[in-house]
Structure 1
Amino acid sequence: MSEGDRFSTAALRGRGVGPDNGEEVEAGGRPPAPVRGLPRRPQRFARSWPLQPTAVQLARIHARTWLVMSRWAGDQDAALLAIHELVENGVKHPTESVEGAVELGLLITEEEDLLIDVSDPDPKFADFDAAIAVEKTRGLGLVIALGGAITWGTPDPGRGKTVRVRMRPGKPLGLGQPTATVKSP
């Protein structure tokens, strides 16, 4: 199982480089030398913001900067729109009055897939099937139309839910067919 196939926000929390983050290390304790001109993969980004409307714009700004700097080969505009929709949903649609933060985790796998994880403190996802079946101009329907494969679950008990979108460079995954699945706790 590759690192990108695990459904866990813990895999996205590392910020540094080295063996503590699951990266391969050469003899002598040094990470392998990067190939000149190519970014090393996997690459991670993680950030959180209070559950406020400003989180949506902040997530877009930070994600844009990271995607450009990491030179992800996919459609960065589509990825940013997906991030916008997911963070906005996390801020706008809690089923109860919850406090806390919305967390954004990004991972570029060795295969160049982009995994977008958005976590919020509400463990419920009311009407998931209806949310992915709606028109393709907003919300999760738009994320699918942009080529995102959607899963969701509660990987960390007591910490809310995480919605994950997998985007691949090149041919979109989701055009014309739903690719959403539910992961049970």
Structure 2
Amino acid sequence: MNTIDTTPAVPAAVSLEWSMRYTMTPKALALIRIQVRQRLTLWSWTADDVESAVFIANELAGNAVQHAAMPGHQALMRLALLEDDSLLIDVSDPVAAFPDFGASRAVGPEAEEGRGLSMVRVLGADLWWFLRPNVGKTVRAHLRG
């Protein structure tokens, strides 16, 4: 759950990989959901896993849109299916910080924000972030297959 200065080791070799740059606007989130679902379906991931991965990708991308949008910058979505059938979901943005990453937040039942990363963890994803070499950070979720 902590930041590290270099990209963390991948638990298995990458067998399939896909990435896409997108504008950091709320309208991009629908396209991300469609493309992640299509890609994982093409890779023959099971339906339950696909929907969890779509939710996680949407949550990470939504956080980037809400907290890291900067004029002239795009975000990067990357999916990597590993040989052990687990999945990496990476979202990279131009902000080199994640101040509330490890914090637990008390959220009221009517709150519209503040639960996303907790839900990502409930779905079974390991979650961490790391600095990118030139600009910004990558937030990574690892779903075991």
Task: Specify if TM > 0.5.
Answer: yes
Structure 2: tracts of 5 or more residues without a match: 1-5, 108-113
Given that 2:78 and 2:90 are in contact with CA atoms closer than 8 Å, whether structure 1 keeps it comes out as yes
8 Å contact 1:154–1:162 — kept in the other structure?
yes
State the distance in 1 between where 2:86 and 2:62 align.
23
SS for the counterpart of 1:129 is coil
Q: Is the 8 A contact 1:42 1:110 kept in 2?
A: yes
Partner of 1:98: 70
User: Does 1:159 pair with 2:132?
Assistant: no
| 1:107 corresponds to which of 72, 80, 87 | 80
Q: CA deviation at 1:151?
A: 1.1
Work out whether residues 107 and 116 of structure 1, in 8 Å CA contact, stay in contact via their aligned partners in 2: yes
Q: Which runs of 4+ in 1 moved over 2 A?
A: 133-138
Counterpart amino acid of 1:159?
V
Structure 1: tracts of 5 or more residues without a match: 1-5, 12-22, 24-40, 170-185
Match of 1:45 among 6, 18, 30: 18
SS at match of 2:83: coil
Structure 2 counterpart of 1:90, one-letter code: A
Deviation at residue 118 of structure 1 after TM alignment: 0.3
Matches within 5 A, 1:76-155: 76-94=50-68, 98-99=70-71, 100-130=73-103, 133-134=104-105, 138-155=115-132
Structure 1 equivalent of residue 111 of structure 2 = none
Deviations 1:97-135 (A, max 9, x none): 7221111000000000100000011111122112xx247
- Relative to structure 1, the CA distance from residue 104 to residue 135 in structure 2 (aligned partners, 3 Å threshold; closer, same or farther) is farther
Distance 1:105 1:135, change over 3 A: farther
The amino acid of 2:75's aligned partner reads V
How far does residue 138 in structure 1 lie from its aligned partner after superposition? 2.8
The answer to whether the 8 Å contact 1:102/1:121 transfers is yes
**Percent identity of equivalent pairs:** 33
Provide, for residues 79-99 of structure 1, a one-character-per-residue CA deviation record: whole Å limited to 9, x for no partner: 1111110000000012xx722
Which structure shows the bigger proportion of residues in strand conformation? 2
Aligned positions, number? 129
